[in-house]
């Protein structure tokens, strides 16, 4: 993992540095859906990211429902545990494929974006650590559901804080990753990128 300055870490930055945004300026977000190269790889990427955003929102909603007593402990555990496992597993798998296949390929295709892929790779390490903390606090929360109400509330608050942090990190990362990758795919097309 490349060492990054503090202001480039996923929880500190407000977006990618200007020197990495030249393709997204050429291919702004509002034009992606109409671009002839959006089908295939770009569409798959955007759908996958939408899935992660949706799942993060569902988890946040479930914990809010529990904390506001709209669901009881048993209902919450039955709903929450499988969705959390699915979310964490898919996210970890997605990042592994990106780190070991796509990012190296994309950096070879467009060497000027290598620093951007280093930033995204660093994000993955930080997000992986956050995923582990998320799983630990989620498991502690699920165990606390068998204990008294005060322990349940304390564990719920700890998990909510950890999950909100993870979702915020993911949101920044997904936006930056899309700003780097989708314009590259639109510019080069699936065929050129698959040829590497």
- pLDDT of 192 over the 90 cut: no
Task: Supply the CATH number for residue 160's domain.
Answer: 1.20.120.520
Phi, psi for 131 (deg, rounded to 5)? -60, -40
- Are residues 66 and 104 in contact, defined by beta-carbon separation less than 8 angstroms? no
- pLDDT of 85 over the 90 cut: no
Q: How many domains does the chain have?
A: 1
pLDDT at 130: 92
9 in any annotated domain: no
18 in any annotated domain: no
Other Cβ atoms less than 10 A from the Cβ of 42: the count is 23
Q: Whole-structure pTM over 0.95, yes or no? A: no
Residues with Cβ < 8 Å from 102, sequence gap 6 or more?
A: 181
pLDDT at 195: 56
5 in any annotated domain: no
14 in any annotated domain: no
Q: Which domain holds residue 102?
A: 29-194
130 in any annotated domain: yes
Q: Choose the most confident range, by mean pLDDT, from 7-16, 78-87, 159-168.
A: 7-16
Mean pLDDT across 82-97 = 89
3 in any annotated domain: no
161 in any annotated domain: yes
pLDDT for 112-121, tens place per residue? Answer: 999 999 999 9
- Which comes out higher in pLDDT, residue 184 or 164? 184
54 in any annotated domain: yes
Longest dimension (CA), the chain: 59
Percent of the chain with pLDDT over 70: 98
Using pLDDT thresholds of 50, 70 and 90, give the confidence band for residue 21.
Answer: very high
């Amino acid at each position: 993992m490349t060492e990054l300055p503090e202001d480039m870490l996923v929880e500190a930055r407000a977006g990618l540095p200007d020197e990495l945004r030249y393709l997204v300026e050429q291919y702004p977000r509002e034009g992606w859906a109409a671009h002839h190269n959006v089908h295939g790889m770009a569409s798959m990427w955007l759908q996958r990211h939408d899935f992660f955003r949706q799942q993060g929102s569902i988890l946040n909603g479930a914990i809010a429902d529990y904390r506001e007593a709209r669901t009881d402990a048993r209902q919450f555990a039955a709903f929450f545990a499988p969705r959390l496992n699915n979310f964490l597993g898919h996210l970890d798998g997605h990042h592994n494929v990106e780190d070991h296949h796509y990012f190296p390929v994309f950096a070879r295709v467009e060497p000027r974006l290598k620093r951007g892929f280093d930033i995204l790779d660093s994000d993955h390490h930080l997000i992986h650590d956050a995923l582990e903390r998320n799983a630990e606090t989620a498991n502690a929360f699920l165990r606390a559901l068998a204990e008294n109400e005060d322990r349940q509330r304390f564990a719920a608050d700890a998990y909510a804080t950890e999950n909100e942090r993870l979702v915020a990190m993911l949101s920044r990362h997904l936006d930056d990753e899309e700003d780097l990758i989708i314009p590259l795919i639109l510019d080069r097309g699936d065929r050129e990128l698959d040829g590497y």
